[in-house]
A = this chain, B = another copy of it.
Amino acid sequence: MLPFRLTVIGCGSALPTLRHNASAQVLDVHGRLYLIDCGEGTQRELRRQRIAMSRIGHVFISHLHGDHCFGLPGLLTTLSMLGGRGELHIHAFAKLEEMLAPMLAYHLSGSDLRPVFHAISTQGGEVVHEDSAVRVTTIRLRHRVPCVGFIFDEQPALPHIRRDMVDFLHIPHYHLNAIKQGEGWTDDEGRFYPHERLTTPAAPPRRYAYVSDTLPCPEHCETLGGADLLYHEATFCESEAARARETRHSTAAQAAEIARKAGAKRLLLGHYSARYNDENTLLAEARAVFPATETAQEGAVIDV
């Protein structure tokens, strides 16, 4: 099966700690790499995890707090120094381009690397990118500043040809692609074999949802519906629920409640407050609500 694989680059929150990096993830869909958020230190962690940053074609930034975007100047400059060329697409609020413009004008002058900024709406509900591997849709989150989440939907795959039927019916090779695309086959004696008898269905397309800094948003549960993997921020434990509300973050139990309501298959927690020395309490509180929960850790690789 083609890869649909998440690697955690950083899962800490705003204050730096020695245990966690600032937010960043790499999603590999069919060999294409998508970077989701890019906190300070992302380029170095990519190197540590032996992910070639030159393979990243698209970057998605959920919001403009520093722990989600301060790694971009370094990443772009390094890519350029390494001889990177062509376009690197950055999907973010328009303000990000404005913020980085003078820095990039200076550091990428004369470079063959061309960052292309695509302004995304703060309102969510928008397909911000689509290619042959994925379609990326935003959802509007509720943080202190405008913030969106990203839903990565794998493009549906074509069905598998049944080799036994092809051999038995002596179907010529040049017709196989047409069958993959939906056609049937009529043999020399005029018997028709419908598409469904000649193929087995492809695996259903996979879905990854990235829910960044936010209060819990039950209004999105339907949109998130049945995500194979839901990443949801879980900055605080229940004992800090008031602080979560105040700073417009979620508790682990609230993240789990969203996963449960959305019918997600698995939940991945992250964006831990610097106050916690481990994630045991966060994990226990989430699992009490939604057992199929794991905590993100730098370097974790998860097949969606």
> Once the chains are docked, how many angstroms separate the CA of A65 from the CA of B44?
17
Given A40-B43, A44-B41; A77-B66 close (CB under 8 Å): yes
Q: Which residues of B contact A41 (CB under 8 A)?
A: 40-41, 44
Q: Which of A93-101, A128-136, A169-177 is the interface stretch?
A: A93-101
> Once the chains are docked, how many angstroms separate the CA of A66 from the CA of B73?
8
Interface residue from B14, B18, B95, B101 paired with A44 (Cβ < 8 Å): B18
The residue of chain B having its C-beta at the shortest distance from the C-beta of A39 within the complex is B74
Given A102-B99, A102-B101, A102-B102; A74-B17 close (CB under 8 Å): no
Digitize A85-112: 1 where CB-to-B-CB distance is under 8 Å, 0 elsewhere: 0000000000100111111001100000
A-side interface mostly: helix
Contact across chains for A18 and B40 when beta carbons are under 8 A apart = no
A81 at the interface (CB under 8 A from B): yes
Given A15-B81, A15-B82, A18-B47; A40-B102 close (CB under 8 Å): no
A57 at the interface (CB under 8 A from B): no
A121 at the interface (CB under 8 A from B): no
Given A16-B74, A17-B47; A64-B106 close (CB under 8 Å): yes
Q: Which residues of B contact A77 (CB under 8 A)?
A: 14, 66, 70
> Once the chains are docked, how many angstroms separate the CA of A196 from the CA of B249?
67
Instruction: Give chain B nearest CB distance to A61 CB in angstroms.
Output: 13
Q: Which residues of B contact A191 (CB under 8 A)?
A: none
A71 at the interface (CB under 8 A from B): yes
Contact across chains for B70 and A73 when beta carbons are under 8 A apart = yes
Contact across chains for A78 and B47 when beta carbons are under 8 A apart = no
A48 at the interface (CB under 8 A from B): yes
A interface residues (Cβ-Cβ under 8 A, vs B): 14-18, 40-41, 43-44, 47-48, 64-66, 70-71, 73-74, 77-78, 81-82, 95, 98-103, 106-107
- In the complex, given contacts A15-B81, A70-B73, A70-B74, what are 4 additional A-B residue pairs having Cβ atoms less than 8 angstroms apart? A16-B43, A40-B74, A98-B102, A101-B102
